[in-house]
Amino acid sequence: MTPAPLPLTGERTVPGIDVENYWFRRHEAAYLDLLRYCADAVVLEAGCGEGYGARLIAERAARVIALDYDAFTAAHVGAAYPELAVVRGNLAALPLRTASVDVVANLQVIEHLWDQEQFVAECVRVLRPGGRLLMTTPNRLTFSPGLDKPHNPFHTRELAPDELRGLLTVDGLEVEVLAGLRHGARLLELDAALGGSIIDAQVDVVLSGGEWSTELLTAVTSVRSDDFAITPDDLDTSLDLVAVAVRT
């Protein structure tokens, strides 16, 4: 029997939902870009959420351990993606042996953590020498511009490019890549057609409790992962930050 989808609460991105497609594809774009680091590797996805990302990683990796703190979410992942090894655990105290994995994938999760530094320290501990920490997170400068605290109630601390680099600049890690995800040409056209921002158009509907217009829903459901670009240029204006750090 196919497991029921996770409820859409705003905390985790869920695939297969029309109104969520923009965010799902935006996150999927980063996974697809980072898969090259996961080939034939033992990968821990720390904060696996719905599990769709761990499933993508499993197509390339030798083994994937999908970890989430929430018991209901972990149970869903185990039922929906039986090819994954699913573990429930705390990201501040990873339930893995020292130097036991080649890659830690942490996509759109660090902004949810209260003790980000402790999590990074745990990544250093569980990674083998030469292993990599893969991390993505919303760019604070564009996601919550000018705000003292995140507008997303599930976020504890969002990061600007320099702040993410600083978080990952610790003994045992060396930042190899710091890039930014942004809209490609087709999404820029959709931005213009929707009054300047497909993101703002969606947020306005959600906050107002109004109906989705046919134009907006058609635009959102048309978004593909290859509509996004990931480049090292002009990080301050990027939507999401994409980092790769090597265990030294």
Domain range annotation of the chain: 18-183+234-247
Q: Which pLDDT value is given to residue 147?
A: 85
The closest alpha carbon to 49, from 77, 79, 29, belongs to: 77
pLDDT tens track of the chain, all 248 residues? 567 677 677 678 889 999 999 999 999 999 999 999 999 999 999 999 999 999 999 999 999 999 999 999 999 999 999 999 999 999 999 999 999 999 999 999 999 999 999 999 999 999 999 999 999 999 999 999 988 788 888 999 999 999 999 999 999 999 999 999 999 999 999 999 999 999 999 999 998 999 999 999 999 999 999 999 999 999 999 999 999 999 99
CATH number of 18-183+234-247: 3.40.50.150
Helix, strand, coil shares, percent, the chain, to 5:
40, 25, 35
CA-based Rg of the chain, rounded to a whole angstrom?
18
- CB atoms near residue 117 (< 10 Å): 11
Report residue 239 CA to chain centroid gap: 12
Q: Which pLDDT value is given to residue 2?
A: 65
Which ranges of 35-91 would DSSP assign to H, the alpha helix? 52-58, 71-80
Q: Which residues lie below 8 Å from residue 183, measured CB to CB, with a gap of 6+?
A: 191, 227, 228, 229, 239
Q: How far apart are CA 68 and CA 112, in angstroms?
A: 12
